Chain A
Amino acid sequence: MRPSEKPGITLTRAGLAEGVRLTLPILPSMSLFGMAYGAAAAQTSMSLLEAVLSSWIVFAGAAQMVGLELWREDWTLAAILGIALIVGTVNSRLILMGASLHSWLGGLRPLLRWPSLFFLTDASWIISERYRAQGGTDAGIYLGAGLLLWLVWGAVTIPGYLISSLVPDPNKFGLDLVMPLFFILMLVPMWKSSADLVPWCVAGAVASLVWMTVPGYAFIVAGALAGALTAAFLPERARV
């Protein structure tokens, strides 16, 4: 592969393979989440083809799940704008993840950089950040993880959809809660020090307040920003 623009940042075949390898441990639970999406989609008016296309084109689990609540049979332009707006709100956390990858993916040629951002997900981001925290510089880790997750995510939608057409009430098995369950598990490896506790608790509290008072999904962005701002402006000595 050709050398990238910024010195120090590389993109190698070995990196891609390593990215795939680092992703394998989370593949089972990711697949379960993807199947749950297919299962939930089958409970709406969404066809199998539409569900699979959503997974491969949108490729954003939490937002797809929320989008299902707004999915309908007859579409108007207003409804399309509405679903795009909600999906954008739920995904606004990706704005911040993309921002944190800037110092890294900025080292790639623009022709690689902008398409590679399509594969940004919670999971590939966490894997990449963990790798980078250990001093890694190979952007192949990010891309390898993203590509594997993308392939699997779309594929597992199919069995999930088909199984759910047979199961009358998938919520009985808690499948509607796979997304928050998957999310809370991601918190464990993120834990660095007790300094994280204050912003995280602020995020949870503000999000809950917004959820109780404002309809829709604005609570995610409001809570997340409150947590980040708390960390940014907390005086140094108050940090444990």
Chain B
Amino acid sequence: MYQRKLEECLKRVQKPARYIGNEFNSIHKEWTSDKMSVAFCFPDVYEVGMSHLGMKILYHMLNEREDTICERVFAPWDDMEQEMRKERIPLLSMESAKPVRDFDMIAFTLQYEMSYSNIVNMLDLAGVPLRAAEREREDAFVYCGGPCAYHAEPLADIVDFLVLGEGEEMNSELMDVYKVWKDSGKPREEYLMEIAKIQGVYVPSFYDVTYHEDGTIKSFSPNREGIPQKVKKRIIKDMDNTYIPEKLIVPFMETVHDRIMLELFRGCIRGCRFCQAGYIYRPVRERSVEKLLEVAQNSINATGYEEMSMASLSTSDYTKLFPLTDGLLAMTVDKKINLSLPSLRVDNFSMELMEKVQKVKKSGLTFAPEAGTQRLRDVINKNVLEEDLMRTAKIAFQGGYNRIKLYFMLGLPTETDADVLGIGELAQKVIDAFYEIPKEERKGRSISVTVSTSFFVPKPFTPFQWEPQNKIADMEAKAKMLKDSITNNKIVYNWHNSDVSFLEEVFAKGDRRLGEVLITAQKLGCKFDGWTDFFDYDKWMEAFQIHGIDPAFYAHRRMDHNEILPWDYADIGVSKEFLIEEHERAYRGETTPSCRDACMGCGAAQFGGGVCFE
């Protein structure tokens, strides 16, 4: 019914291909009254959402169910949103252009905090009541999953429930319960009571929070019988025997990650202390080479993609990387398919591996030492030695690379001026290493090093979760100091906006009092906060002020180890005691071995699988 109006809008917007759907392998089911429907929403624009592996898995998996229709929804870009609001077109699904508010379930994936305003904006555009308490029996259930669901208290009053952990099994279980509830005539609360029994489901309205006078949490407890104090996450124990989509949707327009993404394993053995993913996805669970080769071959056949990447947190830690790359190259080279290897660690980089990946196409190399000095790298447990980086860089230069990107963070705990300046010095050493190689052995004539820094955002479920973030002015002073110290024009220095990092910290560590701030911010026009063209710091500050909330309380306050944290509702398997030990080890400058070198007893072994039992 909105098709005609929508089409006219498409003639007036940029990149209409964002909204057309009908891509190869998209699933178009017949709408019948016996089917349940899920609107799977990604709170960002199409080309970002279509790059996300998790969405692909759940979309195809839910559609495997005969009784369920799952359709995709993305945030319309500003030009399209304006057209839609003008023409009174509500938010629609891609596959059948059905209003999102008519679906049974509205699921959002939470990939980063800066998409929260888009969730509110999309609900508003859909015409769905913004607060869970305002929704009635016939309204859709709004829920969220993804990494931020472990600390999504700012969304507590907006969503009906959150799902913690890996969703392959959980999402299907939600549908099973819905099927029974749908025609039962029972109130919404009954459905929520029923799913609260499923491991991984957190229903925020079933918990009460009280606060101390200083604003910290006094108590957090279930407000009814049979609801657990903490919700344990879900994981897939056996990565070979779980749903892996192969008939992936092939977009018309270019997306951010426009390729087959082969997920080698989940989790990371390393335990870098700043990295949330390194803790929440524990324990590490690998797929077998046989399974991966089978998935790769089927995906190539079903999509026709010209590129495949190995997507995991630290790809080179895959235990059978060489047999796998050999197998993958055998099926890709003849077909002119590029194989790309992201997330390389400098300590186990080798010439052989480099030659393998550049067989088809050579690209620049990226490394992330994260900190400028060994002292600080030890604090953050980034076990990369300067010698490793230099050795790797030399191998790369001899192999013909002459563009190197280095990633760092500013504002890490215990950081001093020497650590900041160390970043520039390290970049200079990489350049020196290039000129140390005899001319005839290096293929490129010149070298360029790009240094990028982002500002550290202490995240929940890391040993640094209690740490305050640097103040905006301090972060900027550090970036300026580093910039001024770099005089070699072969080094290009980029840094990210600090206002966004501040807000990211506020919402990463925020509690449910921020829900109303979010709703107000959306009314003031906040959206696409991850995009510099849209991020409006002043509007956000206005929203905080309206509700009498000081954002610095969340970002700049050192939290006590004994404090009740807003994200204590989630049990990721890794214990708080372990995180405290790691926090203390960081201050002593002690490193922690990887999961494969020694078990430190983090708690993830309770899931009974993965690296803990290798």
Whether A associates with B in a native complex is: no
